[in-house]
Chains A and B, each alone.
Chain A
Amino acid sequence: MSGNWSRFGGASRTAALMLMAAVLAACAPLSPQPAPEPDPAPPPAEEVTAPASSAVLALLDRSEGFMAAGDHDSAAASLERALRLDPQNAELWHRLARVRFAQADWAAAESLALRSVGLDATGALRRENWRLVADARRRMDDEPGAREAEARLRPG
């Protein structure tokens, strides 16, 4: 049986080392985040927020430029490219939600804002996301859903 797995051993050790390097390198979150409250025991997971690299920031700038010019499709394309670089970045998902909202794609705006909440359920971004969810739901005539989202706006 061990023979079956031995061929993976070397690769996984290397991968583990590289992973440790990546975890050590990944610091400086986009916005300061308190660690999730350690209710009896959090899952054995460290919060790793990838640093907002200059590449991601450059793409964010580009997307803002397209937005200002009213080119929503290109703005979205830049954000998608940024998300491929940094998929755990809640800010990027939020921006993409805003682009979809501007395009009157309410359902996509709602889902993207909810994805953003799932990645960063703290602080100002959380509030902005729930506000966006509430607005999107209202545009879809989902008043109860909008109220539910607004209830999340209050600090719970």
Chain B
Amino acid sequence: MRSLKWIVLVALLAAAGALLVHVVSLDAEVSSRFEGKRWALPTQVYARPLELYVGRRLSRDELLEELDRLGYRSSERVSRSGHYQVHGDRLEVMTRGFDFWDGSEPGRHVEVAFAAGTEITAIDDLESGGPVVLLRLDPSTIGSIYPRHGEDRVLVRLDDVPPALIDALLTVEDRQFRDHYGVRPQSLFRALVANLRAGGVVQGGSTITQQLVKNFYLDNRRTLRRKIDEALMALLLEWRYDKDEILEAYLNEIYLGQDGDRAVHGFGLGSQFYFQRPLAELGVHEVALLVAIIRGPSFYDPRRHPERTRSRRDLVLDQMQQQALLTEVDADQARARPMGVVDRNLQTTRYPAFMGLVQRQLRTQYRPEDLMSEGLRIFTTVDPALQARVEAQVATGLEEIERERGMASGGLQAAAVVTDTDSGEVLALVGGRNSRFAGFNRALDAQRPVGSLVKPFVHLAALEHPSRYHVATIVEDGPMTVPLPGGRTWEPRNFDREWHGPVPMYRALTQSYNAATVAIGMDVGVEAVIDVLQRAGLQRRPPAYPSLLLGALEMSPLEVADLYQTLATGGFRSPPRAIREVTTVDGEPLSRYPLSVARGVEPELAYLVNRLLQETVRDGTGRRARGALPADWQLAGKTGTSDGLRDSWFAGFGGDRLAVVWVGRDDNASAQLTGSVGALPLWAGIMADARPRPLLLRPPEQVRERWIDGLSGHGSAQGCAGAVSLPFLVGTGPEQTVPCGRQQRIDETEQPNLLRRIRDWLGG
């Protein structure tokens, strides 16, 4: 008898001990969720913020477009942030404040005035009445980097949450939240009885605290043991933390929807996901919708099941009215409003190709686990307005080419990169014709032969020998045999299968003559050309084959942008960059990606080559862009075409914008396109949208302008037939001159043909 009593006692003690151990371990788990990091916070990635100041070239409609992108709403009376109203040529707006890396930008109530719809002429602060010198809008979110299991969220603080949301939430989910200890005994008891009757586990009435605990688990098993553990953890939570802390955690934890592989957690992201606006700006009909969704985000999906979800929203509003949290008038108004949910594709990662570049640049500095959990904020360089236009240009441009050339639709592919020349910031990046599709990123990963895009660097290498080469040096464009290793030979040909004879060097570049360029390149040496390419930004050393002189060199569009960026800056290296700043979740600067400028090629030589590239667009192989673009932009650029017309390239720039376009096929078959019929029209369309400043090249101190006879390359004079003005380094240039007026005035573009005809006559 005695021993049995002992056995029972020991057993009871052991059970109590086991329970204690279990409770302690649950307590540790609860605490670990709350102390320190409560959530793995995804990294937020932002577009460039739009700067507003007097004199900025920006139309009213462009500002409206940006406000729309940011989810600002038009309203009759502008009294809250995130709202605006149009008054003719003026726009009244209440901006949202934002914490940038270099200080916080306050929200302001301003009126922006536009002149002729193209330029900001005044910004007035409507609170103080004074003028505003400079104003930065909040940046749009272009995506987030979240962990594999896909939880994404935007953290909110309880203070920032609209009171109506708390009212609606507690009314519908947990009216005794402020009074209970984590569980409601009577509902727990009811659930237990129901479980026993059903012989299994059914859903009971959970408190907010229990729902929060449930969300701690990744899976959704409903065992009795799990239910008991959840109740225990709810009690522990309430014991350790106060109600506001629990409520705030709930607001950030609750699951609100699914976006592909991304799970939408918390009301902060939920507000963005469904309304594309910050939570603080939502009206009562919108917070009621979010509360309605909690019960079952896939069952009550406002996009897939609008009627069902709307009636549940109205039910939430009814209950709020019953609890006297809404007046009848307000409730009626709210019930009359549509759900107002934005289109889903506005919210998913907008620019997968650009995001690819951002991730690649981040990966050199951050560990993937930090990117997914530390809530970093990445400020990028992408200009969403331009990005959208470039995407459209690529898509419609390819369709037009296919239609005009009778090609099968959809066979062509393209990639495009647009940078700000002065800073190297990447403004737009398109990785294929379907830019929403996060597939093969051709802008970064397609390595294709660049063809004649390499020629400016061949000429630059020659101009590095001022005693041998200036832009009017006569070079031979004729049959030649280049010895290759292994006793083989190479006979470069021109694209038009003709020889152009002795030509001034500048024409070899502007008309893209192959034989003349190979002659120059073999004279200065392929190694010297590779040196120039490396100084301009090429990150590797290709083998020194003579075919490199005609662009048998594979590069990605981004790498080409890097090279041409060096020309566009006048000789300085400012590599393309996609990130400006990285800050912590609290806005503390973590790493800067400062404007970097390094010496690349000599500014004088870059100037000479850039003048010739301007001539190329004006009257050379790029002249087909002329009709599409204003002549006074004075753009510079170069075509590129690879062997067998597989790759069609154009790279060029204006005063502050550079664009590189590649067109070809993924299967590497011939695209049947030269640079000037494939990539050039796309480039011209992109440049027209990018609206660069004119390219006003400033002659360096060591450069002088001279009049040259375009035919012979000898000195000439202003007003003489066939005379062109060309730049020369001081102390270089042709020594001979031709007498003025001896020639007939000849249309410059006819010259090579005429010269050829003359030679043909002489040759018999």
Contact = CB atoms under 8 A, between A and B. Distances in A.
Interface residues of B, number: 67
Contact of B697 (A41, A43, A85, A110): A43
Given A46-B696, A59-B134, A80-B595, A21 B118 contact: yes
B707 A115 contact: no
Contact of B134 (A3, A18, A21, A55): A55
Contacts of B706: 39-40
Contacts of B694: 19, 45, 48
A67 to B, nearest CB: 14
Contacts of B569: 115
Contacts of B727: 43
Contacts of A59: 134
B177 interface: no
Which one of B54, B698, B700, B727 has the highest number of Cβ atoms from chain A below 10 Å of its Cβ?
A: B698
A118 B697 CA distance: 9
A73 interface: yes
A15 interface: yes
A133 to B, nearest CB: 11
A39 to B, nearest CB: 4
Interface residues of A, number: 57
Contacts of A110: 599
B705 A39 contact: yes
A83 B700 contact: no
B400 interface: yes
Interface in B346-369: none
B343 to A, nearest CB: 27
B404 A43 contact: no
A19 B633 CA distance: 9
B598 interface: yes
Contacts of B53: 53-55, 85
A77 B595 CA distance: 9
A34 interface: no
A12 interface: yes
B109 to A, nearest CB: 19
Contacts of B479: none
Contacts of A42: 699, 705
B696 A45 contact: yes
Contacts of A154: none
Given A51-B55, A118-B570, A87 B656 contact: yes
A43 B55 CA distance: 27
Chief secondary structure at chain A's binding surface: helix
A129 interface: no
A129 to B, nearest CB: 12
Scoring A51, A77, A83 by chain B CB atoms within 10 A of each residue's CB, the highest score goes to A77
B423 A83 contact: yes
Nearest to B631: A16
Interface string A39-83: 111111111100101110011000000000000011011101101
Contacts of B572: 111, 114-115
Contact of A19 (B597, B632, B681, B700): B632
Interface in B670-690: 681, 684-685, 688-689
Contacts of B655: 88
B422 A83 contact: yes
B129 interface: no
Nearest to A105: B594
Contacts of A48: 694, 696
Nearest to A74: B102
Given A40-B706, A77-B101, A83-B423, A111 B725 contact: no
Interface of A: 3-5, 7-9, 11-12, 15-16, 18-19, 21-22, 25, 36, 39-48, 51, 53-55, 58-59, 73-74, 76-78, 80-81, 83-85, 87-88, 96, 107-108, 110-112, 114-115, 118-119, 121, 152, 156
> When A and B form their complex, which 8 residue pairs have the shortest distance between CB atoms, in order from nearest?
A55-B53, A8-B628, A87-B422, A16-B630, A55-B134, A41-B725, A111-B597, A45-B696
13 contacts: A9-B628, A12-B630, A43-B634, A43-B697, A43-B699, A43-B727, A44-B634, A47-B696, A54-B53, A73-B592, A77-B592, A108-B598, A112-B597
Given A41-B705, A55-B133, A110-B599, 17 more contacts: A4-B400, A5-B681, A8-B628, A19-B632, A21-B119, A39-B705, A40-B717, A40-B718, A43-B697, A43-B699, A43-B727, A45-B695, A48-B696, A76-B595, A81-B51, A108-B597, A121-B701
